[in-house]
Structure 1
Amino acid sequence: MPLDTSLSRRTLIKATAGATALGTLGAPAISYAQAEAIKIGHITPRTGFLGPLGEYAAQAAQLAAEEINASGGIMGRKLELILDDSPNPQQASAKAERLVQRDKIVALLGEISSASALAIAQVVQREKVLFINTGANSDALRGSDCQKFMFHIEAQNSMYVKAVGRSLIRDGLVTGKKWYSLTADYAFGHDLLNVAKRYMAANGGNHAGDDLIPTDLADFSPFLLKIRQARPDVVCLNLAGTQITNFLKQYVEFGLTFPVAGFGFDTALAWGAGKGNFGGTWPVVWHHLIDTPGSKAFVTGFQKKWNRMPENQAWGDYCSMKVVAQAITETKSTDPMKIVEHFEKGAKFDLLKTREGYFRAKDHQMMMEMYAITALPAAQIKNQYDIFSSSPPVPAANESLEVIAATDDENKCTFRSA
């Protein structure tokens, strides 16, 4: 079900009764005190090649806000969620500034584009307002471009690569193998390619070729012909958004059978490719088959409200809303600096998985479990959503959550003075 395009730029989330992982079904209407509402902004792309993922993000943020209000709001105050879109970095920067200066938000959530997230980070650092990045992966945002007021519930590229890398090594697809890479030609893709090459070199892999793919490219024929000629052991995709869906469909049409793997992924892209087209092994931060009470409640609530399955981008925006609400409640403050300090002291958060997560103080990356998913054979697929199998959580229960994150040698953050 597409997001209601009649939503205005400024959308007030009303108190409603809804399913919530932290509350009950059919909760009574809440009577709020006369205290001023707590305003939280949400920016994400709603058009272009990242637009389909942005719709999931906005829908999940709305669901979380409604659940928070239905369970009493934040410290008895109503949560007002203000939605906006970010078609490019310039718009993202301008809209973030407007949300802070005019709408007086206490926190900003969202984004998918790494370039736009960087533009927003510069605004929130100057304005000293909390920003939780829910979808931008670039390691640079946690390293050379890190900011004191920016935190990341989205995993960094290093975490994606190391999470899926374990499965690829297990399957004999790394050491001594030739890889052919297709990479999205913007900040995210360039960063991911560098991280992937570093991982491959450390584990005995080689690259047969690399191509940069424009974000608006629809016809992959020239690149598929190059792959056919190169005959790699693995086709590695460092693509984003609908690029991945389009490639997978055309890959099958060309009759290519080289194993496919990706280092960045969203489950909606697998569903978009569909049965018979989706293939390979991919990393994700969450998926709808995770068997925890919180995860099941989120899936049920999202399906009830939006009439479709949530995917992992939705997970990030939903959890971020809950994380901010919890932090304000625990600190009894909307002061961004107090929340930053609370995060840096190791506050724990339920992320709907088997282990709680926390923001790593030195780079503000959420430390958490991830998963590697592998496409099921067509004969084993029973519905449009359950089209992959999943690895157990990565890292394993007996490992530190930080073993898949970038090390200081790989990606060092030095915060500028707040």
Structure 2
Amino acid sequence: MKIVKLGVLLCTLAGTAVAQSVAADSGKSDNVIKIGILNDRSGAYADLGGEGSVVAARMAAEEFGNAIDGVPVEIISADHQNKPDIGLGIVRRWFDVEKVDVVADISNSGVGFAVTTLANERQRIVLNASASSDFTGKACTRTSFQWVYSSYTNGYGLASALTKQKLDSWFLITVDYSFGHAFSNDMRRAIEKAGGKVAGEVRHPLNTADFSSVLLQAQASNAKVVALANAGADMTTAVKQASEFGITSKQTLVAPTVFLTDIDSIGLAAAQGLQFVTAFYWDRDEASRAWSKKYFARQGRMPTMTQAGIYSAVRHYLYAVRAAKTDDALKVADKMRELPVSDAFAPNGKVRADGQFLHDMYIARVKKPAESKQRWDYYDIVSTIPADEAFRSLSEGGCPLLAQR
């Protein structure tokens, strides 16, 4: 009996030694490349990211056979509940106990700032789908990347374009945390630079169910544009109630941050004519359609721009790990900035020195019900904003990394 136990022990030790040798030979620590998808899985932003982002990340890993140089790729997930303290606690455990190499998605700027700060201390990668422009500005770090969109691309860009079309008076309805504040600030700057004015602004808590008093103030302002600086369930609730109040027939309704699942929830009757900027649309071209159909086969819905963006970000990270021949965060981060990006999300993308992923953006308008041929056929792409115009210039951001170069 003792001989059998000794044999088992020796086999176990030998297996461990082989695994450690594989990890050492491959340049990968801990014999696993572990990616944590952190987002809202139960609240206002669950549909735009949630489990769909996990599925998208797994699709990216599968393109590499779920391994890099024989080292397995593992994807885990957790719900930050839109609370920075909860998100930070999860990520601290991921880094210190579970040896997670990368945190992806987040989709909440308040959580995002907490996570990128800790990741910078621990030298781990962040693939951030949160919106604040500060992630590639004053809060930029060597190991953090902003992948999908920003308050500049979707707030400043939209406000600038519409103000120049003589829609020059605005009323802002802003969710009261860093995400909404970032959008409000970027829209204000664009409106005023283009010669327009902000007639008023009201801030509301996350997960607001009744926008009636806010919408009445927007109507009374007589502003030409009512802008919803919020997202997820807040945005969809506000759009539905704006339609009921008749705002959409008298004022132009815009929402800088709109996702495909939002329009599916609102319905074309209430959302028709809504204008916004998007990073991705499943029916944009042949490549986006092909990938989206594979995603649909798993999820039963077409992907949002965040979900498609997480696929792209994880895919690029894994390419960088393979090219760098290591999962060392600093070396992989450098390689991510060096390699070009070409995938279903962005056919011509590149990562800038401040961690901003540059790609084309699109001005979209929601179709009328009669124009839609099937479910998920919701957008008209009005125009393309080239990457070099869509994103804030490197010199404007104030990223402290640039002073170190």
TM-score calculated relative to the size of structure 2: 0.86
RMSD: 2.2
2:134 to 111, 122, 140: 140
**Which ranges in structure 1 are unaligned for 5 or more consecutive residues?**
1-32, 396-400
Q: Tell me how far apart the structure 1 counterparts of residues 300 and 260 of structure 2 sit (CA, whole Å).
A: 17
- Please tell me whether residue 65 in structure 1 is matched to residue 61 in structure 2: yes
Secondary structure, aligned partner of 1:144: coil
- Please tell me whether residue 360 in structure 1 is matched to residue 352 in structure 2: yes
Once the two structures are TM-superposed, the CA of residue 409 in structure 1 deviates from its matched residue by 5.8
Counterpart residue number, 2:108: 113
Secondary structure, aligned partner of 2:265: helix
Once the two structures are TM-superposed, the CA of residue 353 in structure 1 deviates from its matched residue by 5.0
What do the CA deviations read for 1:101-128 (whole angstroms, capped 9, x no partner)? 1111222212000010111111111111
Counterpart residue number, 2:292: 299
- Please tell me whether residue 317 in structure 1 is matched to residue 325 in structure 2: no
Paired positions, count: 372
AA aligned opposite 1:63: M
Secondary structure, aligned partner of 2:67: coil
Greater displacement, 121-130 / 405-414: 405-414
**Which ranges in structure 2 are unaligned for 5 or more consecutive residues?**
1-20, 24-30
Cα 1:268–1:239, aligned 2, differ >3 Å: closer, same or farther?
A: same
AA aligned opposite 2:101: V
Greater displacement, 141-150 / 195-204: 141-150
Q: Tell me how far apart the structure 2 counterparts of residues 161 and 216 of structure 1 sit (CA, whole Å).
A: 21
1:371-410 counterparts in 2 under 5 A? 371-395=362-386, 401-407=387-393, 410=396
The answer to whether the Cα contact below 8 Å between 2:157 and 2:190 also exists between their aligned partners in 1 is no
Larger Rg belongs to: 2
Cα 1:93–1:353, aligned 2, differ >3 Å: closer, same or farther?
A: closer
2:187 to 187, 196, 205: 196
- Please tell me whether residue 43 in structure 1 is matched to residue 29 in structure 2: no
Once the two structures are TM-superposed, the CA of residue 228 in structure 1 deviates from its matched residue by 2.0
Q: Tell me how far apart the structure 1 counterparts of residues 182 and 304 of structure 2 sit (CA, whole Å).
A: 24
Counterpart residue number, 1:19: none
The answer to whether the Cα contact below 8 Å between 2:84 and 2:110 also exists between their aligned partners in 1 is yes
Cα 1:120–1:417, aligned 2, differ >3 Å: closer, same or farther?
A: farther
Secondary structure, aligned partner of 1:323: helix
Cα 1:302–1:353, aligned 2, differ >3 Å: closer, same or farther?
A: closer
Q: Tell me how far apart the structure 2 counterparts of residues 193 and 99 of structure 1 sit (CA, whole Å).
A: 33
Greater displacement, 384-393 / 87-96: 384-393
Cα 1:353–1:105, aligned 2, differ >3 Å: closer, same or farther?
A: closer
Q: Tell me how far apart the structure 2 counterparts of residues 202 and 230 of structure 1 sit (CA, whole Å).
A: 21
1:1-400 counterparts in 2 under 5 A? 36-55=31-50, 56-69=52-65, 73-87=67-81, 88-133=83-128, 135-165=129-159, 168=162, 172-174=165-167, 177-256=168-247, 257=249, 258-279=251-272, 280-293=274-287, 295-344=288-337, 346-352=338-344, 355-361=347-353, 363-395=354-386
Q: Tell me how far apart the structure 2 counterparts of residues 152 and 131 of structure 1 sit (CA, whole Å).
A: 8
The answer to whether the Cα contact below 8 Å between 1:173 and 1:234 also exists between their aligned partners in 2 is no
Secondary structure, aligned partner of 2:47: helix
Greater displacement, 47-56 / 194-203: 47-56
TM-score calculated relative to the size of structure 1: 0.84
Q: Return the structure number with greater helix share.
A: 2
What do the CA deviations read for 1:211-254 (whole angstroms, capped 9, x no partner)? 11211211111012112222221111111111111011111111
What do the CA deviations read for 1:198-217 (whole angstroms, capped 9, x no partner)? 01111111111111121121
Once the two structures are TM-superposed, the CA of residue 34 in structure 1 deviates from its matched residue by 6.9
Cα 1:194–1:162, aligned 2, differ >3 Å: closer, same or farther?
A: closer
Over the matched positions of the two proteins, sequence identity in percent amounts to 24
